Structure 1
Amino acid sequence: MNTRSMIFTIFGDYIRHYDNLIWIGSLISLLKEFGHNEQSVRAAISRMSKQGWIQAEKKGNRSFYSLTPRGRKRMDEAAERIYKLESPSWDNRWRMLVYSIPEEKRHLRDELRKELVWSGFGLLANSCWITPNPLEEQVQELVQKYDIASYVHFFEATYLQGGDSESLVEKCWDLQEINERYASFIEEYSQKYIINQSAIENGSMTDAECFVERTMLVHEYRKFLFVDPGLPKELLPSRWLGDSAARLFADYYRTLAEPAIRFFEQAFETKHTPVSGDGHDQVLKHPLLSSHS
């Protein structure tokens, strides 16, 4: 698996709850559990730093890394979507974004497309993207980020002509393919959940194994951020599997939580050592974990 992607997962699920800071040595130690060597970790960290996701600071001859404000915002947005347990309701309004970015700024156009897909927009027509979700704030941030206000038009609209909302959804998103992916996820992880829940209860699964399994669970589940637009329940098919996958994810995540956190804290080190109890307490206030109590 991609080292950079795994680092994002560990930052999002662990490090951001621990003062958003970690020693590179701890990160290398954690990534070794997944088969990543020191060289690949340092190369990925360097790339992420150049891309503006993380930042470095020194204490003596040691390097520590934290998410930049941009990185923290992306992690917060991802967490809000990953850890939701059911699809939102719809206000019966569509948001439509139309842009006309000149050819000499094609790189901005390409970046904007990636951001729109990640946010859950669907392509209705050339340079015309729609979503039923209230993403006004995200759109304004994208416009400011890429300085494209003069090239973008953003509307809130009602669909009146051309078909019904179901046909509009079918045109913009392949829900059948997404549902098949959810079915595969449920099939694989429901079996793992049953087997490993028993292993944890009888003590045959180590803390390290729980850490690897929980990180892999989040790593696999967060891939849906790039394919599932998070449509309101009114626009989803009757046999939608996304909510079932979310509940399975939440149950399995809780089961692995305590031993996984113990292992992480054994390897974790910042310039503020020894580790305070704050991080552990913050993790246990996680929406999925606190709802378990």
Structure 2
Amino acid sequence: MRISGIKFQRPSEKTIRILKMIGVGVLVVGIGAVPPPWALARVLKELAMGDTQKNRRWATRRIYEARRRGYVRGVGERYALSDIGRRLVEEGKLWELKISVPKRWDGRWHIVAFDIPQELSKARIPFIRHLQNLGLVFYQRSLWIHPHPCADEVREIANFHGVLPHVSFITATHVDGSADLQRRFKITT
């Protein structure tokens, strides 16, 4: 992803977890250059890391980098998530979405169709990556298919990327190649 000509490197999962802790107020970090020891101990405990000097330095660097990259901003004498940090946390939640799988398949295919206009083309690839992460399978150009209801999860993803008005949902009882799809999704009838 590029932001204004500078390559953007997505933060690690642990950094996003630190941002979540700052966002929900579990971690209150003072504005000083170095977080207080009690804050570092809480970070390490939450990340299931041992309380060693090496891990404390690691956590201090992560908090410093989050501030330097603009993920957090100073509010009074504390930190709060900036708009960039909040968006990263929200996107992290999207990667954790899962489609609930009932015990028996109802025989219906759930199809996601989209026609994203050219001015929103930057959102198309991340949107597709999220569909793949959910387990949807490419069926045809701009058509993705799944055997279980997934409209709520896809709506949440489409809303995040700003493409919800361009996404439609179809439920079908028969699609061409359904035998191959059943094998791919490991569905027994």
TM-score (norm 2): 0.58
Q: Which amino acid is the alignment partner of residue 181 of structure 2?
A: L
1:58 is matched with which residue: 69, 72, 75?
Answer: 75
Deviation readout 1:148-207 (Å, 9 max, x if unpaired): 34533221122343341xx21556xxxxxxxxxxxxxxxxxxxxxxxxxxxxxxxxxxxx
2:157 is matched with which residue: 134, 142, 152?
Answer: 142
CA distance in 2, matches of 1:148, 1:121: 17
- Other structure's SS at 2:123 match: helix
CA distance in 2, matches of 1:48, 1:75: 20
Deviation readout 1:52-102 (Å, 9 max, x if unpaired): xxx555342x43559849836954983x75xx9xx6423332211122223
Relative to its length, the structure with more helix (as a share) is 1
Corresponding residue number in structure 2 for 1:22: 27
Task: Report if aligned partners of 2:94, 2:157 keep a CA contact under 8 Å in 1.
Answer: no
Relative to its length, the structure with more strand (as a share) is 2
Corresponding residue number in structure 2 for 1:185: none
Q: Tell whether 2:150 aligns with 1:128.
A: no
- Other structure's SS at 2:169 match: strand
Alignment of 1:56-135 (within 5 A): 56=73, 58-60=75-77, 62-64=78-80, 68=86, 71=89, 75=93, 78=96, 81=98, 88-89=102-103, 90-135=105-150
**Deviation of residue 104 (structure 1)?**
3.9
CA distance in 2, matches of 1:59, 1:112: 37
Provide the aligned C-alpha RMSD in A.
4.2
Q: Tell whether 2:5 aligns with 1:5.
A: no
The alpha-carbon distance between structure 1 residues 152 and 3, as it changes in their structure 2 partners (threshold 3 A), is: closer
Task: Report if aligned partners of 2:40, 2:59 keep a CA contact under 8 Å in 1.
Answer: no
Task: Report if aligned partners of 2:16, 2:89 keep a CA contact under 8 Å in 1.
Answer: no
The alpha-carbon distance between structure 1 residues 63 and 148, as it changes in their structure 2 partners (threshold 3 A), is: closer
Task: Report if aligned partners of 2:16, 2:88 keep a CA contact under 8 Å in 1.
Answer: no
Alignment: residue pair count: 158
CA distance in 2, matches of 1:113, 1:159: 24
Higher RCO (CA < 8 A, seq sep 6+):
1
CA distance in 2, matches of 1:75, 1:149: 18
2:58 is matched with which residue: 33, 36, 48?
Answer: 36
- Other structure's SS at 1:118 match: helix
CA distance in 2, matches of 1:58, 1:75: 24
CA distance in 2, matches of 1:38, 1:142: 32
Using the aligned pairs only, state the percent identity.
21
CA distance in 2, matches of 1:107, 1:73: 15
The alpha-carbon distance between structure 1 residues 146 and 168, as it changes in their structure 2 partners (threshold 3 A), is: same
Corresponding residue number in structure 2 for 1:196: none
- Other structure's SS at 2:16 match: helix
**Deviation of residue 112 (structure 1)?**
1.1
Q: Which amino acid is the alignment partner of residue 101 of structure 1?
A: I
CA distance in 1, matches of 2:94, 2:112: 24
